[in-house]
Amino acid sequence: MISPENRSEFDDLGVDELRKRVEASTYDPEKLRQAREYLHEHDPAWASVELAKVAGRRATIALYISGISAIAVVATFIGPYIASKFQPQLTAYGQQIYDSCLAQRGNTTACDALIRMMQRAADEQAMKKEAGKMLAAGSSKREVAEWARKQGLSNIDISNIAGIPLSDLEAGKY
């Protein structure tokens, strides 16, 4: 609502001068709001420009929302596909264990951890077997330890695989 004194001042100034003052923001916030309201009522060009600005902001917001929605839809369909590519491929036996785990616990996180632990144990068994073959073929424990280190194993795993006490392995006495 425009106060009577401001309306009188705005009438005296005229639309063109008032528009210049509003664009320069020479008024306090309340008077500026009233001046904009006055221009909206008395200047169709001003009203059209202001409505166009509002429409432009709304269109921009709508564009952002539609873009985010499109990304969400794509992620909904592609996300599970990508996630499935990073999950280990289980043997029939592994799948049976996983299903049994889910039936008992109903918690995929716990069952995923169980499968990872089983995979690590199987990997360690395979490494021990390979280390045994290397030692039987005449490789030294040092060569087996270096090979295991290149495979990315920790000192504890290397100690277990190569049959070297952990303290000797860490001290380089093997």
- pLDDT single digits (tens) 154-170: 888 888 888 888 888 88
Most confident listed range (4-8, 96-100, 132-136) = 4-8
Do 95 and 135 sit in the same domain of this protein?
Answer: yes
Do 136 and 106 sit in the same domain of this protein?
Answer: yes
The pLDDT, as a whole number, for residue 61 is 93
Do 92 and 159 sit in the same domain of this protein?
Answer: yes
φ/ψ of 172, rounded to 5, equals 80, 20
Do 61 and 78 sit in the same domain of this protein?
Answer: yes
Domain boundary, last residue among 54, 85, 116: 85
Give the pLDDT mean for 7-18.
Answer: 92
Domain boundary, last residue among 29, 55, 85: 85
Read off the pLDDT band of 87 (50, 70, 90).
low
Q: State the residue for tokens 């794509």.
A: 74
CA dihedral 166, 167, 171, 174 (to 10 degrees): -60
List Cα–Cα distances, 74 to 78, 80, 85, 168, in angstroms: 6, 11, 17, 55
The pLDDT, as a whole number, for residue 71 is 92
Which tokens belong to 169?
């392995």
Is pLDDT of 85 > 90?
Answer: no
Do 121 and 71 sit in the same domain of this protein?
Answer: no
Give the pLDDT mean for 107-117.
Answer: 87
Amino acid at 90: L
Give the pLDDT mean for 44-65.
Answer: 88
Q: Quote the number of domains for the chain.
A: 2
Of 30-34, 41-45, 47-51, 53-57, least confident by mean pLDDT is: 47-51
Do 123 and 81 sit in the same domain of this protein?
Answer: no
Do 57 and 120 sit in the same domain of this protein?
Answer: no
**Distance from C-alpha of 46 to C-alpha of 40, rounded to nearest angstrom:** 6
- Using DSSP, state whether 26 is helix, strand or coil: coil
Do 65 and 102 sit in the same domain of this protein?
Answer: no
Do 112 and 64 sit in the same domain of this protein?
Answer: no
Q: Which domain holds residue 35?
A: 4-85
CB within 8 A of 87, min separation 6: which ones?
A: 112
Percentages helix, strand, coil for the chain (3-state, rounded to 5) are: 85, 0, 15
Is pLDDT of 14 > 70?
Answer: yes
The pLDDT, as a whole number, for residue 60 is 93
Domain boundary, last residue among 66, 85, 104: 85
| pLDDT over 90 percentage in the chain | 25
Of 29-33, 41-45, 46-50, 132-136, least confident by mean pLDDT is: 46-50
The pLDDT, as a whole number, for residue 40 is 87
